[in-house]
Amino acid sequence: MGAAYFYHLTRQPLEATLPLLLGKALGAGWRVVVRGQAEDRMDWLDAKLWLGHEDGFLPHGRAGRAHEGDQPILLSTSDALPNAAACVMCIDGADITPTQVNALERTCILFDGHDDQAVQTARNQWKILSDAGCAAQYWSEESGRWEKKAES
């Protein structure tokens, strides 16, 4: 049974935090789907990930393109897991159901703490998932380092 980890981004932007989490997921031996809502945002993220990060290149691809099933990290706007992902990282308010959370090793929900709508969406997701019995953790970087602030 999986768990949902909520990451409240207040100090570092998505493009700085996501590569760190992706690196940890790959280190755990998991394939990952990064789930968003808009193709243009996935294009932007694809470009950012191709630039790499301080720990090295993150191998990834786009859903719906050649070899999607072989990708360790797949950027997608759908609910499908063509790369047999064990972890889904939801960005920009992308939806995930309790059934999906429970079928995965880990679900990460990253949201911008400076965007009131994103915060409200994450609160709604927390309520839906925790009310359905999913294990959930809330992580904040407000102090300058990641700290677990709540758990259900």
Structural domains of the chain sorted by starting position, each given as residue range(s) with its CATH number in brackets: 3-151 (3.40.50.10110)
For the segment 117-138, the average pLDDT, to the nearest whole number, is: 97
Q: Which of 52, 56, 82, 87 is CA-nearest to residue 67?
A: 82
Q: 0.85 cut: is pTM over it?
A: yes
What does DSSP say about strands 147-151 and 135-140: parallel, antiparallel, or unpaired?
antiparallel
The pLDDT score that the predictor gives to residue 1 is 73
Contacts of residue 134, defined as CB under 8 A and 6 or more positions apart, other chains included, come to 2, 3, 4, 98, 101, 102, 152
In the prediction, which pLDDT does 57 show?
73
Which residue's structure tokens are 């309790």?
A: 98
pLDDT at 12: 94
> From the CA atom positions of the chain, what is the Rg in Å?
14
| Average pLDDT of the chain, as a whole number | 93
Kindly report, residue by residue over 20-77, the tens digit of the pLDDT: 999 999 999 999 999 999 999 999 999 888 776 555 678 899 998 889 999 999 999 9
How far is C-alpha 147 from the chain's CA centre? Answer: 17
